[in-house]
Each structure stands twice: as structure tokens, then as C-alpha cells.
Amino acid sequence: MIMKYPESRLRRLRYNNKVRELVEDVSISVNDLIYPIFICEGRKVKNEIKTLPGQFQLSIDNALKLCEKLLKSKIKNIIVFGISDKKDDSGEISCNQKSIVPKAIKEIKKEFKDEFLVIADVCNCSYTKHGHCGTIVNDEVDNDLTIETLAKQSKILVESGADVLAPSDMMDGRVQLIRKKLDDSGYVDIPIFSYSVKYASSFYGPFRDAVGSSPKMGDRKSYQMNFKNSFEFIREIEQDLNEGCDAIIIKPALAYLDIISRVKNKFNVPIIAYNVSGEYSMVKAGNQKNYIDEKSVMMEIMHSIKRAGANSIITYHALEIAEILKNNEV
């Protein structure tokens, strides 16, 4: 039996704040948040990224200071991106312990032990002269050569202390090869959080400014997914799960809430949504123009991502969200 108005008044469960809080079924915790850190060479470097207000390129010493701040805010999950002074044609330069990300991870682990879950992004775009995510052969990214480099890079990152690997390149077969490389080296317990669903999106612009990874020729549409497709994500996720990934990352988040929801309903796998640079910067720009209330919009976006089905969120807003949660401003 379905009750109708006036016996059923749906506003009763919204009539005051205490009732609303009691029946809420979506919440945000600092444990849901993953903070991205951009690490560069040098000392005492703190360069604000113009298209990512409030975010910085940091040398390792300043990255450690940021980590102290994160701990005080009870944020214990980070994902590390490198900004390399040296580049080559294949990204092979990333495959040694003196590369920027392995050096940074070693220092973070030395300083903070296991207080952070350190996720290492695995990709070549920050290390190639051409800005693409792999080795170019005949003007195309060669899939099979690229995944060999990614597997080598992955082993180096784990040897440096990375707790989780997050391959973001969108090459076919890379999860399988990385998993094999790790297992053969004795790292059977290291999880892979694969960017299984990564669209060729215009929302990445500020990130590419941050790490200097814009392609010098062409675009990434031959390996990142077409946003005009509704079902392509199914095969991508199935392939990565079959190859041994442990959780999936969906990127971007806000314009792809439908995909997050459909993945949640179809697959029994943890979902991490990446609230990407363009999404963040739009909120910042709107606030600077006094078009929106930043805190309210930011929290609405975060709850929408969780409501769609994400277990956790990579977001540049993490410190601000932690402060809001601490002060019970939600």
C-alpha cells in the first residue's frame, strides 16, 4: 500500500535539523580523502600553480612540511606526482632510485614511518619530452613498449616505500605486467589501484600545468576513453580486474557521476573518484567572482560523489574539507 497526501507528508523528515541529520545516509569523513602532492627537484621550493589556486609545486623539504599539516588535519592518505627536471623519449628516466618520486617517498617514509598511506601515480607523461604517457613509435604511443617501462617504474616505486600503485596511463595490459613484476619481486601484498576509467577530458588542464605534461603533439584520445561512450567502461574494468587490480579509480568525477553509479551497481570493487583539477579550479574561480559560496558548493560536490557510489575521493579540497568537518560546519 502506498500512502498518499495528506496522510503521508514527506516534509516531516526534513522539518528540523535534528531529524534531517538522523536520517542522512551519505557522509564524508577525513578517512575518505586522498590528497594529491606535486613534488619537484630542489630545496625550499614552493611555487603556487596559477591555474590551481592554493596548490603548489613543492621540493621534498616543503612536501614534508605539508605532510605535517595533513597529519594535524588527520588526513593520512596521499597520492604523489613527480615534476621531473630531466626528460627522455620513453620515460625510462623514471626507472631509477634517483628519480624525484622515489626520492620523495623515501623521505616521507623516513620522517613519518607508516602514518601515511602513500599512493604512487604510475605514468610516463611527466618524464617524456613529448608529454605523452608512453614511447612514441611512428607518431603513435606504442602500447607494449610503454608497459615495459611502467612495470620497471612500478618496481622502483615500491622499493622506495610506496604502499599502493596507481597506474594512470591507460595502456592495455599494464596491470597484468605490473602485477607480475611485483609478484616476481616478492611484493605480492602491494595493491594496485588502477585508473581503469579515465576519460580524454578537458578538465585536466590545470593538472598538466602543475606537472608540465601537456602533449607537445596531438592528444591522448587514442588511449584515454571517449566521453561519448556509455558502455566502454565495462570492458576496461573487467580487463583490469582480471589482470589483478584491487580497486579502481574513475577520473574525472563530477561530470561522470553516472559512470560512478553504474560501476557501483555492476562491480563489487572499491571505487576511488578523482575530483580533478578543472573541477577544483572552477569552484575556486566561482568563489573569487563571488558567484558561489565555496564551502557549500565544495561539500555538495563531495557528497554527490559519495552518493553516486565512490568509497573515497582524491581531491585538492581535502584540507579545506577536513577543517569544515573539524568545525562541524557541514
Rounded to whole angstroms, the Cα distance separating 188 from 32 reads 25
Alpha helices by DSSP H, listed for 191-317, are 205-211, 232-243, 257-266, 277-288, 294-308
Rounded to whole angstroms, the Cα distance separating 21 from 18 reads 5
Domain membership of residue 309 (yes or no) is yes
How many structural domains does the chain have?
A: 1
Domain membership of residue 191 (yes or no) is yes
Catalytic residue check, 69: no
Three-state DSSP class for residue 139: coil
Band of pLDDT at residue 158, cut at 50, 70 and 90? very high
Domain membership of residue 11 (yes or no) is no
Contact residues for 69 (Cβ-Cβ < 8 A; gap 6+): 319
Q: What is the pLDDT of residue 135?
A: 84
- Residue 245 grid coordinates: 587490480
Averaged pLDDT, 293-302 = 97
The answer for 113, left when phi > 0, alpha when psi is -120 to 50, beta otherwise, is: left
Q: Of 76, 152, 181, 198, which one is the catalytic site residue?
A: 198
Q: What is the pLDDT of residue 66?
A: 98
Catalytic residue check, 18: no
Rounded to whole angstroms, the Cα distance separating 208 from 216 reads 12
Q: How confident is the model over 78-133, as pLDDT tens digits?
A: 999 999 888 888 888 888 999 999 999 999 999 999 999 999 999 988 888 777 77
Q: How confident is the model over 238-258, as pLDDT tens digits?
A: 999 999 999 999 999 999 999
Q: Of 76, 152, 181, 251, which one is the catalytic site residue?
A: 251
Residue span of the structural domain in which 251 resides: 28-326
**Is the pLDDT assigned to residue 207 strictly greater than 80?**
yes
CATH (domain of 93): 3.20.20.70
Band of pLDDT at residue 219, cut at 50, 70 and 90? confident
CA 15 to centroid of chain Cα atoms: 38
Q: What is the pTM of this model?
A: 0.95
Domain membership of residue 8 (yes or no) is no
Domain membership of residue 70 (yes or no) is yes
Domain membership of residue 5 (yes or no) is no
Domain membership of residue 256 (yes or no) is yes
Domain membership of residue 21 (yes or no) is no
